[in-house]
């Protein structure tokens, strides 16, 4: 004889209550579990000054436009991870390369590589290569880097030197007391290359003259030589000329 399982109305109500409690409590449990999950603390900070070491890498690099040849200080902060590495990508995270650091030191000065990209990123990975933290994309603009130790003639204010660089052409780099200035040698009259005339610049085509700051002093040219922005990084003995 077949056994028939009959459920009383009381049993059915108990079952319904259990099911209702399950539906209500499950999301609550999931929220609590998410909140108590161990969080990855920021491992890298980018202090903007020696006394400001609290800005997180994500905020510090957001919408930033950095200069190749410049440097930024990365604070290597050890937390729960026993070991971790810092990596750089110049193409939005498609490829990564290790940034050699000295983990026992608090601050690592990262020399920004000579690339031109709007998709630069930094990330922290553990020893197994698992990504722990990643920055927002930021820009790096290329520069021409002059190492002053290799150009003794630029040691004094007022000194200048002519450089040749494929992206900038021939240009003058001149040292003033507080800064370096740079300008190209293309005459603003009809485009001949002006020449150094021991303290001023003269165009061989129609005789225009410029002073050693690139300002026109004699026509037919009526505009100054085109200038380039520069950045003097005294602590590194470098001058960056913006490309
Ligand atoms: S091109 Fe230089 S003066 Fe004419």
Would you say residue 225 lies in a domain?
Answer: yes
Would you say residue 218 lies in a domain?
Answer: yes
- Cβ(188) – ligand 1 distance below 6 Å: no
The H or E element spanning position 240 is: strand 238-242
Helix (H, G, I), strand (E, B) or coil at 232: strand
Name the residue with the closest Cα to ligand 1, atom 1: 190
- Verify that 156 and 117 share a domain, yes or no: no
- Cβ(185) – ligand 1 distance below 6 Å: no
Would you say residue 51 lies in a domain?
Answer: yes
| Residue 57 · residue 44 · CB < 8 Å | yes
- Cβ(218) – ligand 1 distance below 6 Å: no
Q: In 56-86, which positions are buried (b, 16+ CB within 10 angstroms) versus exposed (e)?
A: bbeebbeebebbbbbbbbbbbeeeeeeebbb
Would you say residue 27 lies in a domain?
Answer: no
Sequence-distant (≥ 6) Cβ neighbours of residue 152 within 8 angstroms: none
57, pLDDT greater than 80: no
| Residue 123 · residue 138 · CB < 8 Å | no
pLDDT at 221: 94
- Tell me whether strands 195-196 and 180-184 are parallel, antiparallel or unpaired: unpaired
| Residue 214 · residue 176 · CB < 8 Å | no
Which has the closest alpha carbon to 85: 138, 132, 136? 132
pLDDT at 38: 42
- Cβ(154) – ligand 1 distance below 6 Å: no
- Measure 204 CA to ligand 1 centroid, in angstroms: 7
| Residue 109 · residue 117 · CB < 8 Å | no
> Which of 107, 123, 141 is the C-terminal boundary of a domain?
141
- Token pair for 41: 């603390």
Structurally, the chain folds into a number of domains equal to 2
Which has the closest alpha carbon to 227: 213, 208, 211? 213
* Stretch among 33-37, 177-181, 183-187 having the lowest mean pLDDT: 33-37
In the numeric block, the tokens 């001058």 are attached to 239
Mean pLDDT throughout 21-46?
56
- Verify that 166 and 205 share a domain, yes or no: yes
- Cβ(123) – ligand 1 distance below 6 Å: no
Which of residues 196 and 127 earns the better pLDDT score?
A: 196
Whole-model pTM over 0.85? no
Q: Which domain holds residue 113?
A: 44-141
Helix (H, G, I), strand (E, B) or coil at 144: strand
Would you say residue 28 lies in a domain?
Answer: no
> Which of 82, 115, 141 is the C-terminal boundary of a domain?
141
Mean pLDDT throughout 211-220?
93
- Token pair for 234: 């005294």
In the numeric block, the tokens 């990596």 are attached to 87
At residue 222 the predicted structure's pLDDT band, cuts being 50, 70 and 90, is very high
Edge-to-edge strand ranges of the sheet holding 107-111: 44-45, 71-76, 107-111
Q: What percent of the chain has pLDDT over 90?
A: 42
At CA 210, angle to CA 207 and CA 214, rounded to 5?
Answer: 145
Would you say residue 17 lies in a domain?
Answer: no
> Which of 114, 141, 168 is the C-terminal boundary of a domain?
141
| Residue 186 · residue 169 · CB < 8 Å | yes
């Amino acid at each position: 004889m077949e056994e028939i399982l009959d459920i009383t109305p009381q049993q059915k109500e108990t079952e319904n209550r259990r099911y209702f409690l399950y539906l209500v409590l499950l999301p609550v449990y999931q929220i609590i579990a998410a909140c108590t999950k161990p969080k990855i603390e920021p491992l890298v900070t980018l202090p903007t000054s020696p006394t400001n070491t609290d800005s997180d890498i994500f905020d510090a690099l957001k919408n930033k436009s950095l200069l190749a040849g410049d440097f930024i200080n990365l604070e290597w902060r050890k937390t729960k991870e026993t070991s971790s590495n810092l990596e750089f990508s110049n193409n939005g995270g498609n490829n990564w390369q290790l940034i050699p650091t000295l983990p026992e030191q608090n601050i690592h000065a990262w020399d920004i590589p000579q690339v031109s990209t709007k998709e630069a990123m930094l990330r922290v990975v553990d020893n197994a290569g698992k990504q722990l933290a990643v920055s927002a994309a930021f820009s790096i603009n290329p520069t021409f880097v002059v190492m002053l130790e290799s150009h003794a003639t630029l040691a004094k204010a007022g000194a200048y030197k002519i450089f040749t660089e494929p992206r900038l052409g021939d240009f003058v780099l001149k040292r003033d007391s507080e800064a370096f200035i740079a300008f190209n040698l293309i005459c603003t009259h009809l485009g001949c290359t002006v020449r150094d005339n021991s303290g001023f610049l003269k165009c061989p085509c129609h005789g225009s003259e410029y002073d050693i700051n690139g300002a026109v002093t004699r026509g037919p040219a009526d505009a100054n030589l085109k200038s380039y922005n520069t950045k003097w990084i005294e602590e590194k003995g470098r001058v960056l000329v913006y490309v």
